[in-house]
Amino acid sequence: MTQVVLATHNAHKVAEFQAIVARVRPDLEVVSYDGPEPVEDGVTFAENAMIKARAAAAHTGLPAMADDSGICVDVLGGAPGVFSAYWAGHAKDAVANLDLLLDQLSDIRDPHRGARFVSTIAVVVPGGAEQVVEGAWPGRLATSRAGAGGFGYDPIFIPEGSDRTVAEWSPEEKNAQSHRARAFESLTGILTTL
Catalytic sites, residue numbers? 68
The DSSP annotation for 18-66 comes to HHHHHHH-TTEEEEE--SPPPP---SSHHHHHHHHHHHHHHHHSS-EEE
- Tell me the one-letter amino acid at 27: D
List the binding residues for Mg(2+). 68
Contact 102, 155 (CB under 8 A): no
Contacts of 77 (CB under 8 A, 6+ apart): none
Sheet holding 130-141, edge to edge: 28-32, 2-6, 64-73, 114-124, 130-141, 157-159
Contact 175, 19 (CB under 8 A): yes
Contact 126, 62 (CB under 8 A): yes
Whole-angstrom CA distances from 188 to 72, 95, 164, 184 are: 26, 35, 30, 8
